[in-house]
Amino acid sequence: MLVGPEQERKISQLVEGVKFHAKESPKTSEPGSEFIFEERPVSLMPAEMILVRVMLAKVEDAGKLAQLLRQVPIRQGEVEGWNCVFWVKEALLRIEQSKGVVGTRVVEWRAVRDAALSCCQQKKDEHRFDGKGKYDHTQVPTRDLISMKEIAA
């Protein structure tokens, strides 16, 4: 989950946000992998391999949001098949139930998941990811779920 400014600045300026997620990482002491929580600043430019972005809420209190996301548990081993998608689903549920963290929002799991998958499919069909299509390389395709429109192609 990326938290960043609503309006990006020009390409010549650094645009940063914060990435919160459950990241699969190799175990250090034995074979296999495990999920760990990661919070780190990231560029919001296409170079970070952001395929699409879905804007789903207006942040009212970034500190409270960060604290809420830090508390979403890693449930690997507790829930069969648990992965980072389950983490996002639980994070959205906690955001939905919170008061004073976000204002206007669309955080219902199915709506967010369906919008993200639809946006990815649309951009795939438009050949955005295979180099065959023409598009602005300085923009990350962004769908605004609040206004139900594409705000960057």
Question: With 0-12 CB in 10 A as exposed, 13-18 as middle and 19+ as buried, what is 72?
Answer: buried
Q: Is residue 85 pLDDT above 90, yes or no?
A: yes
Residue 146: the pLDDT is 93
Q: Is there a contact between 136 and 153 (Cβ–Cβ < 8 Å)? A: yes
The more confidently predicted of residues 28 and 66 is 66
- pTM reported for the whole predicted model: 0.86
Q: What is the mean pLDDT of residues 10-23?
A: 76
The more confidently predicted of residues 48 and 115 is 115
**Each residue's pLDDT tens digit, 49-79:** 677 889 999 999 999 999 999 999 999 989 8
Q: Where are the domains of the chain?
A: 2-7+21-129+140-152
**Each residue's pLDDT tens digit, 118-127:** 999 999 999 9
Q: Is residue 7 pLDDT above 50, yes or no?
A: yes
Q: What is the mean pLDDT of the chain?
A: 88
Residue 2: the pLDDT is 86
The more confidently predicted of residues 46 and 19 is 19
Q: Which residue has the tokens 């979403």?
A: 72
Best CA proximity match to 18, nearest among 66, 58, 88: 66
Residue 129: the pLDDT is 83
Q: Is residue 90 pLDDT above 80, yes or no?
A: yes
